[in-house]
Amino acid sequence: MSRYTGPRLRVIRALGVSLPGLTSKSFEKKPHPPGQHGRTSRRKVSLYGTRLREKQKLRFHYGLTERQLRAVAEYAARRRGNTAGLIVEQLELRLDNVVFRAGFARANAASRQLVRHGHVSVNGRVLDIPSARVRRGDVVAVRESGQKAVRTQKERGEVLARPEWLDVDGDALTVRVVAVPDVTAIPFPIEMQLVIEFYS
């Protein structure tokens, strides 16, 4: 399944939660699900449906394909430790997500474009792979070629508060990973146990 490129506001209305990585728009004007039957009371969601919805939150927020998210879940299940925490660690430490959470882009799609176009460096070396994982102590910087685009986006106002596990220098457009994120790092409500059950 390819990456989603359809209407983003429709997705957050269907899931019933704002996903800052997908879009900065809000569904307050239309808080009901999309479609002609959205305003009416919906039938009871099945157990599978509730787990699918939680999984879809992750997929759309981080802008992943189904194959990518399944690979992350399987990798976390094979390792020792808290599976939910390992999934979050793998997702939050993606290079495109670090650029987004640092406030250099207004959505994960925009940060992915910055990375793919070669505007981002890690520890002084250009890295154009959005799915690359950064580690604690790594320094991610926006190169001179991409600073104009970043400053233009920053002038529109920041959408999301910067997390504690990142040390951001807004003037130099650099960010250092100072800690490993945990489940509380996800910027929207989600039940990770249901995601694990979906893939189990």
Q: Are residues 161 and 195 in the same domain?
A: no
Q: Are residues 99 and 27 in the same domain?
A: no
Residue 122 lies in a domain: yes
Q: Are residues 27 and 74 in the same domain?
A: yes
Q: Are residues 84 and 98 in the same domain?
A: no
What CATH number is associated with residue 144?
A: 3.10.290.10
131 falls in which pLDDT band (50, 70, 90)?
A: very high
Which residues sit opposite 174 in a β-bridge?
Answer: 141, 169
Residue 51 lies in a domain: yes
Q: Are residues 75 and 101 in the same domain?
A: no
- The pLDDT value recorded for residue 157 is 62
- The pLDDT value recorded for residue 126 is 93
The answer to whether residue 115 scores a pLDDT higher than 60 is: yes
Q: Are residues 84 and 102 in the same domain?
A: no
- The pLDDT value recorded for residue 151 is 77
- The pLDDT value recorded for residue 155 is 65
For the ranges 40-44, 62-66, 88-92, 193-197, the lowest mean pLDDT is seen at: 40-44
Residue 2 lies in a domain: no
Q: What is the pLDDT of residues 152-183, one digit of tens each?
A: 776 666 557 789 999 998 888 899 999 999 99
Q: Which residue has the higher pLDDT, 101 or 161?
A: 101
Q: Are residues 140 and 105 in the same domain?
A: yes
- The pLDDT value recorded for residue 127 is 93
CA nearest to 175, candidates 149, 142, 146, 152:
142
Tell me the average pLDDT across 118-129. 93
Length of the chain: 200
Whether the predicted model's global pTM rises above the 0.85 cut: yes
Domain that holds residue 155: 94-179
Is the CA virtual torsion 80, 21, 4, 10 positive or negative?
positive
Tally of structural domains, the chain? 2
The DSSP secondary structure of 101-154, one letter per residue, reads HTTSSSSHHHHHHHHHTT-EEETTEE---TTPBP-TT-EEEE-GGGHHHHHHHH
193 falls in which pLDDT band (50, 70, 90)?
A: very high
Cα distance between residue 120 and residue 137, in whole Å: 16
Tell me the average pLDDT across 73-78. 93
For the ranges 28-32, 91-95, 113-117, 175-179, the lowest mean pLDDT is seen at: 28-32
Residue 54 lies in a domain: yes
- The pLDDT value recorded for residue 171 is 84
- The pLDDT value recorded for residue 154 is 67
The answer to whether residue 200 scores a pLDDT higher than 70 is: yes
Residue 116 lies in a domain: yes
Q: Are residues 155 and 169 in the same domain?
A: yes
What CATH number is associated with residue 17?
A: 1.10.1050.10
24, two tokens? 């900065």
Residue 3 lies in a domain: no
Q: Which residue has the higher pLDDT, 122 or 38?
A: 122
Residue 22 lies in a domain: yes
Q: Are residues 22 and 50 in the same domain?
A: yes
